[in-house]
Amino acid sequence: MEFEAEPTWRTIGGRSRPEAGLETLKGSWQGLPVVSARIGMGHAGLDQKVEAWLNEHPCRAVVLAGLAGALDPAWNEGDLSSFHAEAWPGFAVWARTKPAVRAGKWHTAHAIIETGLAKLELGRKTACGLVEMEWDYVAAACRRKDVPLVGLRAVSDHAEQLLPADLFLLGCDAVTGKSTPVKLGLHLALRPWRLRELLPAVGGCLQAREVMSKALGEFLDWMSGGMKGLRD
Q: Are 174 and 111 spatial neighbours (Cβ–Cβ below 8 Å)? A: no
Q: Give the domain extent around 118.
A: 2-160+205-231
CATH number at residue 55: 3.40.50.1580
Q: Return the pLDDT at 113.
A: 79
Domain annotation covers residue 189:
no
pLDDT value at 229 more than 50: no
What is the per-residue pLDDT across 6-41, written as a single tens digit (0 to 9) for each?
999 999 999 999 999 999 999 999 999 999 999 999
Higher-scoring residue by pLDDT: 225, 112 = 225
What percentage of residues in the chain have a pLDDT greater than 70?
93
Domain annotation covers residue 86:
yes
The total domain count for the chain is: 1
Q: Return the pLDDT at 226.
A: 65
Domain annotation covers residue 178:
no
Higher-scoring residue by pLDDT: 189, 148 = 148
What is the per-residue pLDDT across 192-225, written as a single tens digit (0 to 9) for each?
888 777 777 778 889 999 999 999 999 999 999 8
Domain annotation covers residue 177:
no
- Give one word for 35, left, alpha or beta, with left for phi > 0 and alpha for psi -120 to 50: beta
3-state helix, strand, coil in the chain (%, to 5): 50, 20, 30
Cα 18 versus chain centre, distance: 19
Residue 28: φ, ψ to 5°: -145, 155
Gyration radius (Cα) of the chain, Å: 18
Domain annotation covers residue 24:
yes
